[in-house]
Amino acid sequence: MPPDPERDDDIEILEVIGLDEDGVPVEAEDEDDVEVVFEDAVSKPMPSPPRVSVEDVHLKERLLRLQADFDNFKKRIDRERGDYARQANAGLVARLLPVLDNFERALAASRGRGDVPDPLTAGVVLIQRQLLEELSREGLRAMDPVGSAFDPEMHEAVATETDPATPPHTVTAVLQRGYFFHDRVLRAALVRVSVEAGHVARPPADREES
């Protein structure tokens, strides 16, 4: 038979399939196929936090204690340095107190004469005021105990008097001025104290020996 022209146009395309060793067909992989893998973010395990060992905790506590001790050490050194400077200045200021006493005596004698203050007295007043201002900047402060209760920590009673209008154990006069240096008593004030009627005042023990 003559060949059918229509059938000649039909070309059958066969897929070539490979076989494995057991004769099972193996599909050929298409080079154009791309495999996409989606990772499940929910199922992915979260990284665990770093573990803190007992040694790390002890080291941190020790570091904090050392830092606190060092801060306390610095504060103590600063306080001791300030105390040392104040004590050094207190010695100098204490040696200048008799100079202030002499200024007061000289001015009291000048006022006792009842004369009109002369330029010399005015100059002495000015020098005394300037000296007191400079010493006050260093921490010197004068006591003013008149009218207050007698305090043996700040006052030294050298005389007594009976005054019905004044309560007993009250400072009535200052015979020598006392001073504070910062928050400490630099020199106690010599004072006169009121006592009850019929009370016999006993002098201090150191004055009995003299």
Domain annotation covers residue 62: yes
pLDDT given at position 205: 46
CA distances from 66 to 59, 73, 164, 201 (A): 10, 10, 64, 59
Same domain, 111 and 157: no
**According to the model, what pLDDT value does residue 177 have?**
94
Residue 24 lies inside a defined structural domain of this protein: no
The residues near 97 (Cβ < 8 Å, ≥ 6 apart) are 179, 186, 187
- The verdict on residue 36 lying in a domain is no
Q: What percent of the chain is predicted at pLDDT more than 90?
A: 33
Q: Which pLDDT score, from 0 to 100, does residue 3 have?
A: 55
Residues 167 and 187 in one domain: yes
Output the pLDDT for position 39. Answer: 55
Is 43 within a domain? Answer: no
Q: Whole-model pTM?
A: 0.56
pLDDT digits (tens, 9 = 90+) for 109-127: 887 666 666 788 888 899 9
* CATH label of the domain that carries residue 176: 2.30.22.10
For residues 148 and 199, state if they share a domain.
yes
Q: Kindly state the average pLDDT of the residues 83-100.
A: 85
Residue 43 neighbours by CB under 8 Å, 6+ apart = none
Tell me, yes or no, whether 197 and 162 share the same domain: yes
User: How many domains would you assign to the chain?
Assistant: 2
Of 28-37, 61-70, 75-84, 185-194, the least confident = 28-37
Structural domain harbouring 107: 56-138
